[in-house]
Structure 1
Amino acid sequence: MIGILIVTHGKMAEGIADSARMIMGNNEQFDSIGLFPDKDLDQFKADIKKKFLELDTGDGVIIFVDLFGASPYNITALNIHELLSEKKKVRVITGVNLPMVIEVLNMRNIEENIDSLYKSCLTTGKDGIKELLEEMASNECEDDEE
């Protein structure tokens, strides 16, 4: 099974993981870690790698981060070079949101290919972003057509 790790600033990772557990129940190979102002960056890097190794059973790990180019992303990226040189399967996705985490938790039981799974997560994450009034107008137009 593909492991899932959420890495963000502060408590965001924990909050998304808690929300996903509320909706999907407890899941194996699923964890989160947050970067706090008082955290040593070298220790944070080591903590990310440790969690990766705990979650990886050979099928790989998808790591979700909050912001492209920010500290959690950059520190995760530092680990990636090492992990790839060790022939580990890993994908890092920025812009984590709850729909994409729910998608990966649901689909990883069916989809064992990390490349297919992360692409599905990208689509779900993007499709999960909506604006209420536009959606209402779109639904009214669809109702009028019927």
Structure 2
Amino acid sequence: MTVGILLICHNDIGGQLIETATDMLERLPTRLEHLDVRQDDDPIDLLNAARRRVTDLDSGEGVLVMTDMYGSTPSNIAHRLLDQHEVQVLSGVNLPMLVRALNYPRLPLDEMTAKACSGGREGIIQEGATDRP
């Protein structure tokens, strides 16, 4: 069994991240879904949809929920999922974070969350930076 992954992001960000990761890896090693959040969506409907997706994704190992921006509607919905199932939430999802999580599908939820978080941080590089006064 593996940890499930749910991306809750504005507009099409989650779907695009999943499509890109799938192209890179050629297959998905774990269950992965996304929930798009649009400006006019009802937050209660979104929360209910997110709860259903977490239930579907949780095969007994828990679900890692990633959102695009802390404090936004996707993040607030994800935070409300912490009271059900075994769920961990990371905000600030980027492609390196998602790919890192997908490369460790058999890790326990806590360890996968740590790997994904480190992948996200290590994937941010300032190219051509020099020490200038």
**RMSD value over aligned CA atoms?**
1.2
**Computing the radius of gyration over CA atoms, which structure comes out larger, 1 or 2?**
1
Summarize the alignment of residues 1-146 of structure 1 with structure 2, pairs less than 5 Å apart. Answer: 1-27=2-28, 28-81=30-83, 83=84, 88-109=85-106, 111=107, 113-134=108-129
Q: Which runs of 5+ in 2 are unaligned?
A: none
SS in 2 for 1:33: strand
Q: Which runs of 4+ in 1 moved over 2 A?
A: none
Residue 120 (structure 1) shift? 1.2
Cα pair 2:96 2:119 within 8 Å, conserved: yes
Alpha-carbon separation, structure 2, partners of 1:108 and 1:33: 20
Query: TM-score normalized by structure 1?
Result: 0.83
Q: Percent identity, aligned pairs only?
A: 24
State the AA in 2 paired with 1:123.
S
State the AA in 1 paired with 2:118.
T
Residue 26 (structure 1) shift? 3.2
State the AA in 2 paired with 1:46.
N
State the AA in 1 paired with 2:17.
I
